Structure 1
Amino acid sequence: MLPADNLADDSFNHDAEIQACGLGDRGALQRIYERESRYLLGVALRIVRDRASAEDVLHDAFVAIWRRASSFDPRRGEGRGWIFSVVRHAALNRVRDGARQAPLDDSVSTQHEAQAAFAAWREGGDEMERHAALGRLSHCLDALEPERRACVLHAYVDGCSHSEIAERVKAPLGTVKAWIQRSLRVLKECMQ
Protein backbone atom coordinates (compact mmCIF):
# COMPACT_ATOMS: atom_id res chain seq x y z
CA MET A 1 0.00 0.00 0.00
CA LEU A 2 1.36 3.46 -0.89
CA PRO A 3 1.71 5.94 1.94
CA ALA A 4 -0.90 8.18 0.25
CA ASP A 5 -3.47 5.44 0.78
CA ASN A 6 -2.78 5.19 4.48
CA LEU A 7 -4.32 8.32 5.93
CA ALA A 8 -3.96 7.05 9.48
CA ASP A 9 -0.15 6.99 9.07
CA ASP A 10 0.91 10.03 11.11
CA SER A 11 4.60 9.07 10.95
CA PHE A 12 5.17 10.77 7.57
CA ASN A 13 7.34 13.80 8.21
CA HIS A 14 6.76 16.32 5.42
CA ASP A 15 9.29 18.77 6.84
CA ALA A 16 12.07 16.17 6.90
CA GLU A 17 11.25 14.94 3.40
CA ILE A 18 11.34 18.49 1.99
CA GLN A 19 14.65 19.14 3.72
CA ALA A 20 15.98 15.86 2.29
CA CYS A 21 14.94 17.07 -1.19
CA GLY A 22 16.91 20.24 -0.51
CA LEU A 23 19.95 18.05 0.09
CA GLY A 24 19.44 16.22 -3.22
CA ASP A 25 17.59 13.10 -2.03
CA ARG A 26 15.45 12.07 -5.01
CA GLY A 27 13.85 9.33 -2.92
CA ALA A 28 12.38 12.00 -0.66
CA LEU A 29 10.69 13.66 -3.63
CA GLN A 30 9.34 10.26 -4.69
CA ARG A 31 7.97 9.64 -1.19
CA ILE A 32 6.25 13.05 -1.18
CA TYR A 33 4.79 12.29 -4.61
CA GLU A 34 3.51 8.88 -3.52
CA ARG A 35 1.99 10.35 -0.38
CA GLU A 36 0.38 13.52 -1.77
CA SER A 37 0.06 13.40 -5.56
CA ARG A 38 -3.60 12.43 -5.72
CA TYR A 39 -4.60 15.22 -3.33
CA LEU A 40 -2.38 17.74 -5.09
CA LEU A 41 -3.81 16.72 -8.46
CA GLY A 42 -7.27 17.39 -7.02
CA VAL A 43 -6.23 20.88 -5.93
CA ALA A 44 -4.79 21.63 -9.37
CA LEU A 45 -7.80 20.14 -11.15
CA ARG A 46 -10.26 22.26 -9.18
CA ILE A 47 -8.37 25.39 -10.19
CA VAL A 48 -7.51 24.73 -13.84
CA ARG A 49 -10.57 22.52 -14.50
CA ASP A 50 -8.83 20.40 -17.11
CA ARG A 51 -7.20 17.04 -16.35
CA ALA A 52 -4.30 17.42 -18.78
CA SER A 53 -3.53 20.93 -17.54
CA ALA A 54 -3.80 19.77 -13.92
CA GLU A 55 -1.29 16.99 -14.61
CA ASP A 56 1.06 19.54 -16.19
CA VAL A 57 0.63 21.79 -13.16
CA LEU A 58 1.44 18.89 -10.85
CA HIS A 59 4.59 18.11 -12.84
CA ASP A 60 5.68 21.76 -12.78
CA ALA A 61 4.93 21.98 -9.07
CA PHE A 62 7.08 18.95 -8.27
CA VAL A 63 9.92 20.44 -10.30
CA ALA A 64 9.48 23.64 -8.25
CA ILE A 65 9.39 21.65 -4.99
CA TRP A 66 12.64 19.96 -5.97
CA ARG A 67 14.32 23.22 -6.95
CA ARG A 68 13.05 25.28 -4.01
CA ALA A 69 13.20 22.64 -1.27
CA SER A 70 16.37 24.13 0.19
CA SER A 71 14.49 27.40 0.79
CA PHE A 72 11.82 25.68 2.91
CA ASP A 73 11.91 26.89 6.52
CA PRO A 74 9.85 24.77 8.96
CA ARG A 75 9.77 27.72 11.38
CA ARG A 76 7.59 29.61 8.90
CA GLY A 77 4.99 26.86 8.43
CA GLU A 78 4.33 23.17 8.05
CA GLY A 79 5.83 21.25 5.16
CA ARG A 80 2.54 19.86 3.95
CA GLY A 81 1.06 23.33 3.72
CA TRP A 82 4.14 24.52 1.83
CA ILE A 83 3.74 21.70 -0.71
CA PHE A 84 0.05 22.50 -1.21
CA SER A 85 0.83 26.20 -1.65
CA VAL A 86 3.43 25.41 -4.34
CA VAL A 87 0.80 23.43 -6.28
CA ARG A 88 -1.87 26.07 -5.75
CA HIS A 89 0.41 28.86 -6.99
CA ALA A 90 1.48 26.79 -10.00
CA ALA A 91 -2.19 26.21 -10.88
CA LEU A 92 -3.09 29.87 -10.45
CA ASN A 93 -0.10 30.86 -12.59
CA ARG A 94 -1.30 28.46 -15.27
CA VAL A 95 -4.72 30.12 -15.23
CA ARG A 96 -3.21 33.61 -15.28
CA ASP A 97 -0.97 32.67 -18.20
CA GLY A 98 -4.07 31.87 -20.24
CA ALA A 99 -3.84 28.09 -20.25
CA ARG A 100 -7.54 28.03 -19.42
CA GLN A 101 -10.08 30.05 -21.37
CA ALA A 102 -12.68 30.75 -18.68
CA PRO A 103 -11.80 33.46 -16.15
CA LEU A 104 -11.14 32.35 -12.60
CA ASP A 105 -13.49 33.98 -10.10
CA ASP A 106 -11.80 35.04 -6.84
CA SER A 107 -14.48 33.17 -4.95
CA VAL A 108 -13.55 29.93 -6.71
CA SER A 109 -9.88 30.43 -5.85
CA THR A 110 -10.68 31.15 -2.21
CA GLN A 111 -13.03 28.20 -2.07
CA HIS A 112 -10.43 25.80 -3.48
CA GLU A 113 -7.82 27.07 -1.07
CA ALA A 114 -10.20 26.46 1.83
CA GLN A 115 -11.06 22.98 0.53
CA ALA A 116 -7.37 22.08 0.24
CA ALA A 117 -6.72 23.39 3.74
CA PHE A 118 -9.68 21.38 5.05
CA ALA A 119 -8.40 18.22 3.34
CA ALA A 120 -4.94 18.73 4.84
CA TRP A 121 -6.46 19.40 8.27
CA ARG A 122 -8.77 16.38 8.05
CA GLU A 123 -5.92 14.03 7.19
CA GLY A 124 -3.48 15.24 9.82
CA GLY A 125 -3.50 15.66 13.54
CA ASP A 126 -5.21 14.02 16.45
CA GLU A 127 -8.81 12.77 16.18
CA MET A 128 -9.74 14.41 19.50
CA GLU A 129 -8.33 17.77 18.35
CA ARG A 130 -10.36 17.54 15.12
CA HIS A 131 -13.58 16.86 17.04
CA ALA A 132 -12.89 19.77 19.39
CA ALA A 133 -12.20 22.07 16.44
CA LEU A 134 -15.39 20.94 14.71
CA GLY A 135 -17.32 21.74 17.88
CA ARG A 136 -15.78 25.23 17.96
CA LEU A 137 -16.57 25.68 14.27
CA SER A 138 -20.18 24.66 14.81
CA HIS A 139 -20.46 27.12 17.70
CA CYS A 140 -18.90 29.90 15.59
CA LEU A 141 -21.18 29.16 12.63
CA ASP A 142 -24.22 29.28 14.90
CA ALA A 143 -23.18 32.78 16.00
CA LEU A 144 -23.46 34.09 12.42
CA GLU A 145 -26.67 35.65 11.13
CA PRO A 146 -28.70 32.99 9.26
CA GLU A 147 -28.24 34.59 5.81
CA ARG A 148 -24.49 34.88 6.25
CA ARG A 149 -24.19 31.35 7.64
CA ALA A 150 -26.15 30.05 4.62
CA CYS A 151 -23.79 31.87 2.24
CA VAL A 152 -20.69 30.40 3.91
CA LEU A 153 -22.17 26.90 3.90
CA HIS A 154 -23.23 27.18 0.25
CA ALA A 155 -19.69 28.28 -0.65
CA TYR A 156 -17.63 25.84 1.40
CA VAL A 157 -19.90 22.83 1.83
CA ASP A 158 -21.95 22.88 -1.37
CA GLY A 159 -19.14 24.30 -3.52
CA CYS A 160 -21.27 27.07 -5.04
CA SER A 161 -19.80 30.14 -6.72
CA HIS A 162 -20.72 33.58 -5.42
CA SER A 163 -23.16 34.11 -8.29
CA GLU A 164 -24.86 30.75 -7.59
CA ILE A 165 -25.18 31.69 -3.92
CA ALA A 166 -26.68 35.07 -4.86
CA GLU A 167 -29.34 33.23 -6.87
CA ARG A 168 -30.05 30.79 -4.04
CA VAL A 169 -30.41 33.39 -1.29
CA LYS A 170 -32.00 36.02 -3.54
CA ALA A 171 -29.44 38.71 -2.66
CA PRO A 172 -27.23 40.96 -4.80
CA LEU A 173 -23.87 39.47 -5.81
CA GLY A 174 -21.88 42.22 -4.08
CA THR A 175 -23.80 41.68 -0.86
CA VAL A 176 -23.12 37.94 -0.96
CA LYS A 177 -19.40 38.53 -1.52
CA ALA A 178 -19.28 40.98 1.38
CA TRP A 179 -21.21 38.64 3.67
CA ILE A 180 -18.88 35.76 2.94
CA GLN A 181 -15.75 37.85 3.34
CA ARG A 182 -16.89 39.34 6.65
CA SER A 183 -18.17 35.99 7.91
CA LEU A 184 -14.83 34.35 7.22
CA ARG A 185 -13.08 37.04 9.26
CA VAL A 186 -15.56 36.52 12.11
CA LEU A 187 -15.10 32.73 11.94
CA LYS A 188 -11.33 33.07 11.94
CA GLU A 189 -11.43 35.28 15.03
CA CYS A 190 -13.90 32.97 16.75
CA MET A 191 -11.78 29.87 16.05
CA GLN A 192 -8.64 31.35 17.63
Structure 2
Amino acid sequence: MPPAATHTDEAFDHDAALHACARGDRNALRRIYEVEARFLLGVALRIVRDRAAAEDVLHDAFISIWSRSPSFDGRRGSGRGWIYSVVRYAALNRVRDGAHEVVQDESVREAHDAQAALVAWNERGSEWERQATLGRLGHCLEQLDPERRTCLLHAYLDGCSHSEIATRVQAPLGTVKAWIQRGLRALRECMQ
Protein backbone atom coordinates (compact mmCIF):
# COMPACT_ATOMS: atom_id res chain seq x y z
CA MET A 1 0.00 0.00 0.00
CA PRO A 2 2.00 3.07 -1.17
CA PRO A 3 1.53 6.36 0.67
CA ALA A 4 -0.95 8.94 -0.54
CA ALA A 5 0.49 11.99 -2.23
CA THR A 6 -1.70 14.52 -0.42
CA HIS A 7 -0.35 17.32 1.74
CA THR A 8 -0.24 17.15 5.53
CA ASP A 9 -3.21 18.73 7.26
CA GLU A 10 -1.77 20.32 10.42
CA ALA A 11 -5.23 20.83 11.92
CA PHE A 12 -6.12 17.17 11.55
CA ASP A 13 -7.63 15.74 14.74
CA HIS A 14 -6.00 12.32 15.14
CA ASP A 15 -7.89 11.56 18.36
CA ALA A 16 -11.28 12.23 16.74
CA ALA A 17 -10.31 10.14 13.71
CA LEU A 18 -9.36 7.19 15.93
CA HIS A 19 -12.66 7.47 17.82
CA ALA A 20 -14.48 7.55 14.47
CA CYS A 21 -12.58 4.41 13.39
CA ALA A 22 -13.71 2.74 16.60
CA ARG A 23 -17.30 3.53 15.56
CA GLY A 24 -16.69 1.88 12.17
CA ASP A 25 -16.11 5.02 10.07
CA ARG A 26 -13.86 3.86 7.21
CA ASN A 27 -13.47 7.44 5.93
CA ALA A 28 -11.70 8.31 9.18
CA LEU A 29 -9.11 5.58 8.52
CA ARG A 30 -8.73 6.85 4.95
CA ARG A 31 -8.11 10.39 6.26
CA ILE A 32 -5.48 9.14 8.72
CA TYR A 33 -3.82 7.39 5.80
CA GLU A 34 -3.95 10.49 3.57
CA VAL A 35 -2.46 12.71 6.27
CA GLU A 36 0.18 10.41 7.75
CA ALA A 37 1.02 7.56 5.35
CA ARG A 38 4.14 9.06 3.78
CA PHE A 39 5.58 9.86 7.20
CA LEU A 40 4.61 6.48 8.62
CA LEU A 41 6.19 4.77 5.63
CA GLY A 42 9.39 6.65 6.48
CA VAL A 43 9.27 5.33 10.05
CA ALA A 44 8.77 1.77 8.83
CA LEU A 45 11.42 2.10 6.12
CA ARG A 46 13.99 3.39 8.59
CA ILE A 47 13.47 0.29 10.72
CA VAL A 48 13.01 -2.52 8.15
CA ARG A 49 15.34 -0.94 5.55
CA ASP A 50 13.43 -2.39 2.60
CA ARG A 51 10.74 -0.49 0.67
CA ALA A 52 8.51 -3.51 -0.06
CA ALA A 53 8.73 -4.73 3.53
CA ALA A 54 8.01 -1.20 4.80
CA GLU A 55 4.90 -1.02 2.61
CA ASP A 56 3.77 -4.40 4.00
CA VAL A 57 4.38 -3.15 7.54
CA LEU A 58 2.34 -0.03 6.83
CA HIS A 59 -0.52 -2.12 5.42
CA ASP A 60 -0.50 -4.40 8.46
CA ALA A 61 -0.24 -1.42 10.81
CA PHE A 62 -3.32 0.21 9.29
CA ILE A 63 -5.24 -3.02 9.76
CA SER A 64 -4.07 -2.97 13.37
CA ILE A 65 -5.02 0.71 13.77
CA TRP A 66 -8.50 -0.11 12.47
CA SER A 67 -9.00 -3.15 14.67
CA ARG A 68 -7.38 -1.69 17.78
CA SER A 69 -8.89 1.81 17.54
CA PRO A 70 -11.48 1.04 20.26
CA SER A 71 -8.57 0.61 22.70
CA PHE A 72 -7.21 4.11 22.05
CA ASP A 73 -7.47 6.29 25.16
CA GLY A 74 -6.73 9.98 24.62
CA ARG A 75 -6.04 10.43 28.33
CA ARG A 76 -2.95 8.24 28.03
CA GLY A 77 -1.41 10.03 25.05
CA SER A 78 -2.08 11.67 21.72
CA GLY A 79 -3.76 9.89 18.84
CA ARG A 80 -0.86 10.73 16.56
CA GLY A 81 1.61 9.22 19.02
CA TRP A 82 -0.53 6.10 19.30
CA ILE A 83 -0.65 5.72 15.50
CA TYR A 84 3.12 6.14 15.16
CA SER A 85 3.72 3.62 17.93
CA VAL A 86 1.55 1.03 16.18
CA VAL A 87 3.61 1.44 13.00
CA ARG A 88 6.93 1.47 14.82
CA TYR A 89 6.21 -1.73 16.70
CA ALA A 90 4.83 -3.46 13.63
CA ALA A 91 8.13 -2.66 11.91
CA LEU A 92 10.21 -3.77 14.89
CA ASN A 93 8.28 -7.02 15.08
CA ARG A 94 8.82 -7.57 11.35
CA VAL A 95 12.55 -7.16 11.82
CA ARG A 96 12.64 -9.19 15.02
CA ASP A 97 10.80 -12.29 13.93
CA GLY A 98 8.48 -11.69 10.99
CA ALA A 99 5.44 -11.70 13.28
CA HIS A 100 2.64 -9.27 12.48
CA GLU A 101 1.27 -8.87 15.99
CA VAL A 102 2.61 -6.43 18.54
CA VAL A 103 4.38 -8.20 21.40
CA GLN A 104 2.96 -7.09 24.74
CA ASP A 105 5.74 -7.85 27.23
CA GLU A 106 6.71 -5.23 29.82
CA SER A 107 9.78 -3.90 28.00
CA VAL A 108 7.81 -3.34 24.79
CA ARG A 109 5.03 -1.55 26.68
CA GLU A 110 7.60 0.72 28.34
CA ALA A 111 9.23 1.46 25.00
CA HIS A 112 5.79 2.08 23.43
CA ASP A 113 4.92 4.54 26.21
CA ALA A 114 8.26 6.31 25.83
CA GLN A 115 7.86 6.61 22.05
CA ALA A 116 4.29 7.90 22.39
CA ALA A 117 5.44 10.43 24.97
CA LEU A 118 8.18 11.62 22.61
CA VAL A 119 5.72 12.14 19.75
CA ALA A 120 3.27 13.93 22.07
CA TRP A 121 6.07 16.09 23.43
CA ASN A 122 7.05 17.11 19.89
CA GLU A 123 3.44 18.12 19.18
CA ARG A 124 3.12 20.41 22.19
CA GLY A 125 4.96 23.28 23.75
CA SER A 126 7.14 26.04 22.45
CA GLU A 127 10.52 25.65 20.84
CA TRP A 128 12.10 27.19 23.95
CA GLU A 129 10.48 24.56 26.21
CA ARG A 130 11.67 21.79 23.90
CA GLN A 131 15.23 23.14 23.89
CA ALA A 132 15.19 23.41 27.70
CA THR A 133 13.95 19.84 28.00
CA LEU A 134 16.50 18.59 25.45
CA GLY A 135 19.25 20.20 27.49
CA ARG A 136 17.97 18.42 30.58
CA LEU A 137 17.66 15.18 28.60
CA GLY A 138 21.25 15.49 27.40
CA HIS A 139 22.38 15.99 30.98
CA CYS A 140 20.36 12.96 32.10
CA LEU A 141 21.75 10.81 29.26
CA GLU A 142 25.29 11.78 30.31
CA GLN A 143 24.54 10.49 33.82
CA LEU A 144 23.73 6.98 32.54
CA ASP A 145 26.25 4.18 32.38
CA PRO A 146 27.72 4.09 28.87
CA GLU A 147 26.16 0.68 28.15
CA ARG A 148 22.65 1.84 29.06
CA ARG A 149 23.04 5.09 27.13
CA THR A 150 24.29 3.25 24.04
CA CYS A 151 21.42 0.75 24.17
CA LEU A 152 18.82 3.51 24.53
CA LEU A 153 20.27 5.48 21.65
CA HIS A 154 20.31 2.40 19.40
CA ALA A 155 16.69 1.66 20.34
CA TYR A 156 15.23 5.14 19.99
CA LEU A 157 17.41 6.85 17.43
CA ASP A 158 18.32 3.92 15.21
CA GLY A 159 15.08 1.94 15.67
CA CYS A 160 16.99 -1.25 16.47
CA SER A 161 15.32 -4.27 18.01
CA HIS A 162 16.70 -5.68 21.25
CA SER A 163 18.44 -8.51 19.40
CA GLU A 164 20.07 -6.06 16.96
CA ILE A 165 21.31 -4.02 19.90
CA ALA A 166 22.68 -7.15 21.57
CA THR A 167 24.63 -7.91 18.40
CA ARG A 168 25.94 -4.35 18.11
CA VAL A 169 27.10 -4.08 21.73
CA GLN A 170 28.11 -7.75 21.94
CA ALA A 171 26.07 -8.45 25.08
CA PRO A 172 23.46 -11.09 25.94
CA LEU A 173 19.89 -10.25 24.92
CA GLY A 174 18.61 -10.37 28.52
CA THR A 175 21.33 -7.96 29.63
CA VAL A 176 20.43 -5.52 26.85
CA LYS A 177 16.74 -5.63 27.83
CA ALA A 178 17.67 -4.97 31.46
CA TRP A 179 19.96 -2.07 30.49
CA ILE A 180 17.18 -0.49 28.44
CA GLN A 181 14.59 -0.88 31.21
CA ARG A 182 16.93 0.49 33.88
CA GLY A 183 18.07 3.28 31.57
CA LEU A 184 14.47 4.36 30.90
CA ARG A 185 13.73 4.27 34.61
CA ALA A 186 16.81 6.37 35.40
CA LEU A 187 15.91 8.89 32.67
CA ARG A 188 12.36 9.22 34.03
CA GLU A 189 13.69 9.88 37.53
CA CYS A 190 16.29 12.39 36.30
CA MET A 191 13.77 14.29 34.14
CA GLN A 192 11.31 14.82 37.03
Task: State the TM-score bracket (shorter-chain normalisation).
Answer: 0.5 to 0.7
CA drift at 1:84: 2.1
Describe the shift of the 1:25–1:150 C-alpha distance in structure 2 as closer, same or farther (beyond 3 A).
Answer: closer
Please name the residue that 2:7 is paired with: 2
Match of residue 191 from structure 1? 191
Are 1:82 and 2:52 counterparts?
no
Displacement after TM superposition at 1:26 (Å): 3.2
Partner residue, 1:33: 33
Q: Distance in 2 between matches of 1:133 and 1:164?
A: 29
Query: Aligned residue for 1:133?
Result: 133
Q: Normalising by structure 2, what TM-score?
A: 0.65
Structure whose CA Rg is larger: 1
Q: Deviations over 1:68-122 (max 9, x none)?
A: 32332323432122212322343345446647xxxxxxxxx89x96996587256
Give the number of equivalent residue pairs: 171
Distance 2:72 2:48 in 1: 26
Task: Show structure 2 runs of 5+ residues with no match.
Answer: 1-5, 100-107
CA 1:118–1:165: 2 relative to 1, 3 Å: farther
Does the 8 A contact of 1:151 with 1:179 survive in 2? Answer: no
Offset, 1:139: 2.5
Structure 1, unmatched stretches of 5+, are 100-108, 167-172
Aligned twin of 1:105: none
How far apart in 2 are the matches of 1:186 and 1:23? 40
Residue in 1 that maps onto 2:20: 20
Aligned alpha-carbon RMSD (Å)? 3.8
| Alignment pair present for 1:73 and 2:77 | no
Residue 126 of structure 1 aligns to a residue in which SS? coil
Partner of 1:62 in structure 2?
A: 62
Measure the CA separation in 1 of the matches of 2:167 and 2:186: 22
Q: TM-score, normalised by structure 1?
A: 0.65
State percent identity of aligned pairs: 55
Residue 15 of structure 1 and its aligned partner are, at CA, apart by: 0.6
Distance 1:61 1:158 in 2: 21
Aligned to 2:103: none
CA contact under 8 A between 1:57 and 1:94: conserved in structure 2? yes
- In structure 2, the residue corresponding to 1:82 is in which secondary structure? helix
**Does the C-alpha gap of structure 1 residues 152 and 69 become closer, same or farther in structure 2, counting only changes over 3 Å?**
closer
